[in-house]
Chain A
Amino acid sequence: MKLAELQALFQSAILAGDETDAQLIEEILPKADESRETLLGVYVNAYSLRLTEYLDEDYPALRAYLGEKEFRALVKAYIAANPSKFRNARWFSNPMPEFMQESAKWRAKRRAIGIAQFERALTDAFDAADASAASLEALASFPPEEWPELAFSFHPSLHLLQVAKGTLDAYVAATAEDEETRKRLAQIRATACEGTEAAAVWRAEGDLSYRGLEDDERLALNEAIAGKSFGEICQLVAFQDESQPAVERLAQFLVNWFSEGLVAGVAKATCD
């Protein structure tokens, strides 16, 4: 049998989880004290064990939220539907949220999908490209009258998420070290999932950070990431919500973004 044919056959057996494929078994040299199926099974079993381990590592909160039985069913379905196309196993687990959204069985579990999105954002932020955070002094070096013209670049690890309501609470409960906080997971699970919430995930000085965002901050941060100047953001947020003293609140957002390490650069916006 040609090498290409043998490799195709071998790979099919592994993907199918089948250590009994007769055509492949016929190619394997018999061993006196062990069946060829058992020996082929070393490779077949290692495949699912290894991929399961990657998913367990990347989605611990999702596992806690769904419970062992349901998470195992999800992992099995994911592995069957997503044979890895990645040289680096790091990326194997990344499409999990999309897999859940596209699957009839999982798409209604909005909070579970939210947790998957959140955990993926954490993984992505962990090894995102490096950049130095801009200091508050960098912002303060511009006189207040120039602030409307300022535009910002953000740390490459920053991810904005719009996820099902209760996602962050569920994540905190699922990953808590103390029993009392973990008990809240059952309550959260029993609560109907209506509406959405926003969160930011990023890496500051090497450590992962996250927090929830109110609607106006989410909008402002979204626009800032898109390259809008502070003046343009103020106008937009004031238009969206006239009840807020927008400029003062937005100025506080801006200070927070700098002090929390979200901002990588600040400069006067260039005219189009």
Chain B
Amino acid sequence: MEPLPRLGYGLGLRPIYYEEILSTRPAVDWFEIISENYMIPGGRPLAMLERVRRDYPIVMHGVSMSLASTDPLDFDYLAELKALAERMEPAWISDHVAWTGVHGLNLHDLLPIPYTREALAHVVERIKRVQDFLKRRLVVENASTYIAFKGAEMTEWEFVAEMAERADCLLLLDVNNVFVASFNHGFDANVYIDAVPAGRVAQFHMAGHTNKGTHRIDTHDQPICEEVWKLYGRARRHCGDVSAMIERDDNFPPFAELLAELQRMRDIDASLSAQASLGEPPRSAA
């Protein structure tokens, strides 16, 4: 298969920013959409997306594929997803290591799984079937989790690495999700990042979260925190030049604030590149 393009630095396309994006054509390299928001018959959202698409590459990021569900795969959903992809020609399609419901229901959340051999075989099989149907490699994201299961037989990073290898899929490394999970489950986020199979990472996600003291929740409604910026530097050193973007889904700031966060990402990467070209040992660039 063709290698995925390096898109640079992107943002999530959200309706609140449509007008500003279309009128100012900001210096954003690409936009990520929530696929389901455009799996509709017509109207303004699709019209806006088509206008944005004329000027920017897009990536389709889904939240309902339910790759880890024990329900049958929903091929009606996948057919709709495929139709949207044929229309919008995204650089790639992504979804999560999670389930959203069973028994025909959808809880509209990314729910956790036990990292067991059974779950791994199940998810691998489903990713393969989805890839066969979509006729493209899927990019699969690590989700934020708030509970861990006693029955786990491996760590999350072992699960993700083996999943990617066996399913021959690519990975969307959500750096914030790694941090949130590490805090909630008490593991070292650096160990997770270092264990990610770098050659399979197609994209980074960055986002803010809510600190509840004893646990952290992946709310996408805050600026990116310093710990996550630091972890980003490590992820960048480990994975190299992969496409990166920032998710913001609530408590929307002026668009300029998101552009400033994107610039910080560029600055970190420029600093890391400069260090690498000078042959300096890697330092924290965040």
Chain A residues in contact with chain B, CB under 8 A?
1-4, 6-8, 10-11, 14-15, 26-29, 31-34, 36, 38-40, 42-43, 46-47, 50-51, 83-90, 92, 126-130, 156-157, 203, 206
B111 touches which one: A10, A34, A90, A129 (CB < 8 A)? A10
Name the 4 nearest CB pairs between A and B, nearest first.
Answer: A130-B42, A34-B214, A127-B43, A4-B70
Whether B135 sits at the interface, judged by CB under 8 Å, is no
How many whole Å from B244's CB to the nearest CB in chain A?
26
Give Cα distance in the complex from A89 to B108, angstroms. Answer: 7
Q: Are B108's CB and A1's CB within 8 A?
A: no
How many whole Å from B169's CB to the nearest CB in chain A?
19
Known: A2-B118, A11-B102. Is A28-B107 also a contact (CB below 8 A)?
A: no
Whether B54 sits at the interface, judged by CB under 8 Å, is no
* Chain A contacts for B70, CB-based, 8 A: 3-4, 7
Residue of B nearest to A83 (CB): B105
Known: A8-B103, A84-B107, A128-B43. Is A31-B186 also a contact (CB below 8 A)?
A: yes
Give Cα distance in the complex from A43 to B107, angstroms. Answer: 10
How many whole Å from A205's CB to the nearest CB in chain B?
11
How many whole Å from B49's CB to the nearest CB in chain A?
12
27 CB-based A-B contacts, threshold 8 Å: A3-B113, A3-B114, A7-B70, A8-B102, A10-B111, A11-B101, A15-B105, A15-B107, A27-B150, A29-B148, A31-B215, A36-B147, A39-B215, A42-B217, A43-B109, A43-B146, A46-B109, A83-B105, A84-B101, A90-B36, A90-B40, A126-B44, A127-B45, A129-B41, A156-B41, A156-B42, A203-B43
Residue of A nearest to B148 (CB): A29
A28 touches which one: B39, B44, B47, B149 (CB < 8 A)? B149
Given contacts A27-B114, A39-B184, A87-B39, 17 further A-B contacts (CB under 8 A): A3-B116, A6-B114, A27-B150, A28-B149, A29-B150, A33-B214, A34-B215, A43-B109, A50-B108, A88-B40, A90-B36, A90-B37, A126-B43, A127-B40, A127-B41, A127-B46, A156-B42
Q: Are A11's CB and B41's CB within 8 A?
A: no
Whether B106 sits at the interface, judged by CB under 8 Å, is yes
A84 touches which one: B105, B119, B151, B152 (CB < 8 A)? B105
How many whole Å from A37's CB to the nearest CB in chain B?
10
Give Cα distance in the complex from A26 to B102, angstroms. Answer: 21
Query: B45, B70, B77: which has the most chain A beta carbons within 10 Å?
Result: B70
Give Cα distance in the complex from A32 to B215, angstroms. Answer: 11
Contact pattern, B 12-44, Cβ under 8 Å of A = 1, otherwise 0: 000000000000000000000000110111111
* Chain A contacts for B102, CB-based, 8 A: 4, 7-8, 11
How many whole Å from B176's CB to the nearest CB in chain A?
16
Whether B122 sits at the interface, judged by CB under 8 Å, is yes
Whether B69 sits at the interface, judged by CB under 8 Å, is yes
Give Cα distance in the complex from A6 to B215, angstroms. Answer: 23
Residue of B nearest to A203 (CB): B43
How many whole Å from B67's CB to the nearest CB in chain A?
12
Residue of B nearest to A51 (CB): B108
Known: A10-B111, A29-B149, A43-B146. Is A3-B119 also a contact (CB below 8 A)?
A: yes
A128 touches which one: B41, B149, B152, B217 (CB < 8 A)? B41
Number of A-B contacts (CB under 8 A): 134
Give Cα distance in the complex from A272 to B276, angstroms. Answer: 78
Q: Are B147's CB and A29's CB within 8 A?
A: yes
Known: A6-B114, A87-B77, A89-B36. Is A38-B108 also a contact (CB below 8 A)?
A: no
Whether B64 sits at the interface, judged by CB under 8 Å, is yes
How many whole Å from B108's CB to the nearest CB in chain A?
5
Whether B153 sits at the interface, judged by CB under 8 Å, is no
Whether B254 sits at the interface, judged by CB under 8 Å, is no
Known: A3-B118, A88-B64. Is A40-B42 also a contact (CB below 8 A)?
A: no
Residue of A nearest to B118 (CB): A3
Whether B158 sits at the interface, judged by CB under 8 Å, is no
Residue of B nearest to A125 (CB): B43
Q: Are A130's CB and B36's CB within 8 A?
A: no
* Chain A contacts for B44, CB-based, 8 A: 126-127, 206
Whether B74 sits at the interface, judged by CB under 8 Å, is yes
Give Cα distance in the complex from A29 to B147, angstroms. Answer: 7
How many whole Å from B33's CB to the nearest CB in chain A?
13
A86 touches which one: B106, B118, B151 (CB < 8 A)? B106
* Chain B contacts for A157, CB-based, 8 A: 43
* Chain B contacts for A32, CB-based, 8 A: 186
Whether B104 sits at the interface, judged by CB under 8 Å, is yes
Give Cα distance in the complex from A187 to B240, angstroms. Answer: 65
A206 touches which one: B47, B107, B148, B185 (CB < 8 A)? B47
Q: Are A6's CB and B41's CB within 8 A?
A: no
Q: Are A27's CB and B149's CB within 8 A?
A: yes
Whether B99 sits at the interface, judged by CB under 8 Å, is yes
Q: Are A87's CB and B64's CB within 8 A?
A: yes
